[in-house]
Structure 1
Amino acid sequence: MNETLIRSLSGLVYVLILLLATLLSRESFLLLFGLFMLQTVREFANLIHLPQTLALIASGLIFINFAVFATPLWVDMVVIVFSIVILILLMLWLFSKNQAPFKHSGWITLTGYIAFPFVCLTKLPILDSQFIPSIIIAIFILIWTNDTFAYLIGKSFGKNKLFERISPKKTIEGFLGGLLFAIIAGVIISMYYVPIFSVLTWMVIAVVTSVFGTIGDLVESKFKRMANVKDSGRIMPGHGGILDRLDSIIFVAPFVFILFKILEYVS
C-alpha cells in the first residue's frame, strides 16, 4: 500500500479514536489518555534506557492517584510547578550541546516530562467540576493547525532554519506561519466553538500552544537523536510512536493548565 495512504489512514484512525473517546464521557477520555500515557512512557523509557516495567508501574500509579481521582488545589499546584521546572530544564538542555545529561535523573525526567504533563492534560477540560470536552478538543485543533501550517508554509517559503542542529526541516518562516494560523484558529474557536473563554484568552492559549508545542517537538527530537532513532515507536504506521504524536501537547499542557488556574483565581 502507498506510504502516503498508510500514513493518512493511520492518522485518521488516531484522530477519530481521540475525538470519540473525548466526546463520549470523562471515563472514556481518561481511559484513552491513560493508555496513551502508558505507551508514551514505554517509548520514552526505551529512549533513555529506564527499566520499562518499573516505569509503567510508577507512571500508572501517578496517573491513577492524580488524574483519575479528584485532587485539591495545592496538589494540582505541586504537579504544575514540578512539571514546569522540569520542562524549563529541558528547554535549557535543548540549547546546550550536552547530549546525555539524564544518566542520574531519568526518573525525575520521566515524571516531569511525561507522567505529570499527562495529568495536567486530563485536567484541562475540567471547569467548575464539569467535564467540557470541547476545551481539550480545541487545544488539539490549535496544535494540529500550528503543525499543519508550519509544515505547509515552511515547505513553500522556508529559507531560514529554526534549529538546524536538532531539526533541519523546521524553518523560522514555518514557525511564524504556524503561530499566525494558530492565533486565527483561536479567534474562530472563541467565536464559534468554546465561547466560555474570551477572544484574548484563546489568542494567548494559541500563542502558548504554538511556542511550547514547537519546543516540545524539538525536545523530543533531541531525545531521539541522543538515542539514534528516527521515531519513538512503531505503533502508528507512517507516524511512529504515540510520543511522536503527543510530544507537543504534553509539553504544552502544564503551561495551559497554570494559565487556566490563574484565570480561575482572578475571575
Structure 2
Amino acid sequence: MKELYTRALSGFIYVCILIGSILLHKYSFLAVFFIFSLICLYEFQRLIHFKKVFLYIILVAGFAATHFIKIPLSITWSFLFISLFVQLLLLKDLLFIRIIPMFEKKKYIVSIFYLISCFFFLTLIPFDQFRNYQPIYLIGLLVLIWVNDSFAYLTGKNFGKHKLYSKISPKKTIEGFIGGFIAAIIGGILISYFSKSLSLLHWIAIASIVSIFGTIGDLIQSKFKRQAGVKDSGKIMPGHGGIFDRLDSILYASPFVFLYLQIITYVS
C-alpha cells in the first residue's frame, strides 16, 4: 500500500509540474522541458553505455537554436525527415532484430536523431507558424498519451489474452492496445469539443498517431532496457522509474505529430 501511495504522489507531482509549467508561460514550459531533456539524455546514455559530453553540447546548442534563433525552414524539414527515418529504422530493429546493434557511430546517430531531436519537435508543437504559443496542443497531446496508456493497462489487465509483443513487453496485449486506441480517439473527440483548437477529424488523427507511435516508442524503450538488463531507465521518480520512462511514448510520437500539424497548416 505504501508503494501505491508513493507512486501516486510522485505521479501527481510530475503531472502538476508538466501542466503547471505549460500553462504558466512559454518560458517556464521551455525551462522544465529543457531540464527533462538533460535528464532523459543522461538516462538514455546509461542504457546504451555511451557517456559523451559532446551530446549535451549538441542538446543545449540545438535547444537554443530551435527556440531563440530563426532557423531556415529547409533546415527544420531536413532535420525532421532524418529524425523520422531514424525512428523508422528503430522500428525495423524492434520488429526484425533480436538485439539492436549499438556500435559507436550508431549510438551517436540514435542519441541525436532519436532522443535529442524528439525533444526539439516536442517543444515546437505548441508554437504555430508565427511563433505564437498555443499550450492546448501540447496539453492535448499529453492527455491523449495518458488516456491511451491508462486504458491500455486497464483493458489489458482485465481482458487481455493475446500478447502484443511478448519478447519485449510480456504484459502488453492486443486487447490492451485496442482499448487504449479507442480511449485515445474518444479523448481526441472530447478535446476537440472543449478546446475548439482543431477540427474533430484532426484531433482524431492526432489521437491515432499518438496511440500507434506512442506504443511503438514504449516498446523500443523497453527493448533498450532489456538489452541493458534494467527495469527502469532511472530512479528519479519513486514508483515510476526515470523521466525517460514517463516520456518515451510522447517523445517517439512527437515528430510524427509535428509533421501532421505542419501538413495541415500548409494545406489549410
TM-score (norm 1): 0.97
Report the 3-state secondary structure (helix = DSSP H, G, I; strand = E; otherwise coil) of the residue aligned with 1:168: strand
**CA deviation digits over 1:179-219, x for unaligned, max 9?**
001000000100112x1211000000000000000000000
1:50/1:106 contact within 8 Å kept: yes
Equivalent positions of 1:180-191 (< 5 A) are 180-191=182-193
2:234/2:242 contact within 8 Å kept: yes
Task: Output the CA distance in 2 between the equivalents of 1:29 and 1:208.
Answer: 23
Task: Output the CA distance in 1 between the equivalents of 2:68 and 2:175.
Answer: 41
Counterpart code for 2:208? V
Gaps of 5+ in 2: none
1:146/1:182 contact within 8 Å kept: yes
Equivalent positions of 1:81-100 (< 5 A) are 81-100=81-100
2:43/2:234 contact within 8 Å kept: yes
Task: Output the CA distance in 1 between the equivalents of 2:266 and 2:173.
Answer: 38
Report the 3-state secondary structure (helix = DSSP H, G, I; strand = E; otherwise coil) of the residue aligned with 1:131: coil
2:232/2:245 contact within 8 Å kept: yes
Aligned length: 266
Identity rate, percent = 45
Equivalent positions of 1:21-170 (< 5 A) are 21-104=21-104, 105-127=106-128, 128-170=130-172
Q: Shift of residue 79 of structure 1?
A: 2.3
2:93/2:100 contact within 8 Å kept: no
1:42/1:55 contact within 8 Å kept: no
1:244 counterpart = 2:255: no
Counterpart code for 2:199? S
Instruction: Between 97-106 and 129-138, report the one with greater CA deviation.
Output: 97-106
- Cα distance change, pair 176–161 in 1 and its aligned pair in 2 (3 A): same
Task: Output the CA distance in 1 between the equivalents of 2:238 and 2:67.
Answer: 29
- Cα distance change, pair 133–228 in 1 and its aligned pair in 2 (3 A): same
Report the 3-state secondary structure (helix = DSSP H, G, I; strand = E; otherwise coil) of the residue aligned with 2:236: coil
- Cα distance change, pair 52–8 in 1 and its aligned pair in 2 (3 A): farther
Q: Shift of residue 70 of structure 1?
A: 3.5
**CA deviation digits over 1:4-38, x for unaligned, max 9?**
00000000000000011111111111111111100
Equivalent positions of 1:246-265 (< 5 A) are 246-265=247-266
2:94/2:100 contact within 8 Å kept: no
Counterpart code for 2:189? V
Q: Shift of residue 57 of structure 1?
A: 2.4
Task: Output the CA distance in 2 between the equivalents of 1:54 and 1:10.
Answer: 31
Q: Shift of residue 226 of structure 1?
A: 0.7
Report the 3-state secondary structure (helix = DSSP H, G, I; strand = E; otherwise coil) of the residue aligned with 2:170: strand
Gaps of 5+ in 1: none
Task: Output the CA distance in 2 between the equivalents of 1:172 and 1:84.
Answer: 25
Counterpart code for 1:161? K
Task: Output the CA distance in 2 between the equivalents of 1:77 and 1:58.
Answer: 18
**CA deviation digits over 1:40-73, x for unaligned, max 9?**
0000011111124333222222222224433232
1:208/1:255 contact within 8 Å kept: yes
Instruction: Between 113-122 and 74-83, report the one with greater CA deviation.
Output: 74-83
Task: Output the CA distance in 2 between the equivalents of 1:250 and 1:147.
Answer: 14
Task: Output the CA distance in 1 between the equivalents of 2:109 and 2:221.
Answer: 16
